[in-house]
Structure formats: structure tokens, C-alpha cells
Amino acid sequence: MTSVEERRIVIRNDHGENLVGILRETGSKDLVIICHGFQSKKERIPMVTLATTLGREGISAFRFDFAGNGESEGSFMYGNYRREAEDLRAVIRHFRKNQHLITAIVGHSKGGNVVLLYASKYNDVPTVINISGRFHLEKGMEGRLGKDFLQRIKQNGFIDVKNRKGQFEYLVTQESLMDRLTTDTRAACLSIDQNCRVLTIHGSRDKIVPAKDALEFARFIRNHKLHIIEGADHEYTAHQDELATVVLDFVKAVREDRNTAELLQSCERAVNFIKARI
């Protein structure tokens, strides 16, 4: 059985804020980084389930809170997709300095958009897994902000979002709303390198983000695989094991392909060396 050590790690982002995460260290250099969704945190499903499952297979995993969420420093901001991609950048840089090999970046819901944005900008990860990301970012806002949100934010400059009990949850400014509306998912998908393997997973009964959004990712990402989990909701409440298995199989397949390619390259170098000596 693989020995797993779990420890808390703090990483400073480019804005001087401390990002807090949990590393499940298996002793392997392979590392998968897991990103949570909107108003979520590293302790929520499916982040914990994915990290635990990967650890059992000897793959280290790091799940962390974006700035303004969970234990991390900073103020919560609506939108914020690009800045969260930069938080992910800080995390990746940290682990690369510590000799880890970033095997995959995984994002749930809004985190799915963040990992895709990251891949489109930096092109330095071989595998991206988008779980229940939203393709059409201009949709899905009325449920949180109200039907007349555009009129109210133009009139007042902000919207106070309250929960069902009428308690204040967070502030949406016109600037943060525009951050979301100007984040171009289609352009990001088209910019992802064809050598980067992308998996999109979506639940067929997702009431937060419609499953048809997953089909849009499949249209515009060149090296893409789509997996629909029948009956699953947005957080895969009753489908945690199935979700974890799909993610694990994809990560393992990519890792095995990489190891095979490295073996073939090693053999080729050996053959060339022998030929040069003859």
C-alpha cells in the first residue's frame, strides 16, 4: 500500500496573499493540482474525493483555496477568472521549484474554467481536466443576482447578494461583473495547444450548469475527450466514486503514455550510441 503523508502548505501569490492548501504526498514526483469552484473551498466534494483516490494510486495531489476563499488570504470577488488562473500559476511555480512534475490540473465548476484559461495562456501542462465548467459565462447569473441585475448594477454600481435568509453573502461590482462577461471561453479553448490533452466531465442532471455546455467544450478544444456521467448532479453527490475513477483513469493513461515515450527515447539514444561506436 502506498504511504501517504498529508500536510498543510502555504504559497504566496503575486499579490502578496497567502494561498493555503493540503498536499497528499505519496513520494512520487507526479503531482495533480485540484481547483475548487465558485464560493467553494478545498474541503468540499469532489476535491477531497479526487485527492484521496489519486493518493491511493501513488499520485500526489494538492488541493488549495483561491484567494478570498476558504483559509486563503484576500477578499472574495465575483468573476475573477483571470486572477484565479494566476493563483494557479503561483502554485505550479512553487511545486516545480520543489522538483514536482505537474501531471495534470483539475478544476471543478468555475475551477474548470480556470484550468482551461491557464492552459490557454501558459501551455506548460500536459493534461487538463474540466469538471462541470460553464462554457457560456453570460448565462447562469440571474439565479444568483436576480433577473434585473444589469439594470440594478448600472443604476447603483454594485449588487449586494444575499442568501435565502436575507443575510449578506458577497458584493458584485460593475467591474467584477464585466470581468466575467469579458472572459472569452471560446477563445481560450481555441488557444489550447493540440498536444495538451483535455477531458471534460459533466453530470447529465446538473441543474447549476447545463450538460449541453460540455458539448461546446468538445467543439472548440482540439485534443478533447468528453465523458457524461448519467444521473450526476453538479457536485456528483451520489457519483463520487464514478467521477474519481474517470479522472484517475485519464491521468494514469497520460502518465503511462509519457513513460512509454520516455522509454522509447531512451532506447533510441542507446541504439544511436551503439551505432556510433561500431
Helices (H), the chain: 47-56, 81-97, 110-122, 142-145, 149-156, 174-181, 185-191, 212-220, 240-277
120, 154, 181 - which closes a domain: 181
Compute the distance between CA of residue 153 and CA of residue 113 in angstroms, rounded to an integer: 24
Compute the distance between CA of residue 63 and CA of residue 93 in angstroms, rounded to an integer: 15
Domain span at residue 168 reads 137-181
Check residue 143 and give its pLDDT: 85
The total number of structural domains in the chain stands at 2
What pTM value is reported for the model? Answer: 0.91
Compute the distance between CA of residue 29 and CA of residue 244 in angstroms, rounded to an integer: 20
Same domain, yes or no: 221 and 172: no
Same domain, yes or no: 163 and 262: no
pLDDT at 263 over 60: no
> Which residues, in sequence order, are bridge partners of residue 144?
none
| Secondary structure (3-state) at 133 | coil
Same domain, yes or no: 38 and 160: no
101: number of CA atoms within 13 Å, CB side? 14
H/E stretch holding 199: strand 197-203
What proportion of the chain, given as a percentage, has pLDDT over 70?
92
**CATH number where 104 lies:** 3.40.50.1820
- What's the one-letter identity of residue 34? I
Q: Write out pLDDT tens, residues 225-259.
A: 999 999 999 999 999 999 999 999 999 998 787 66
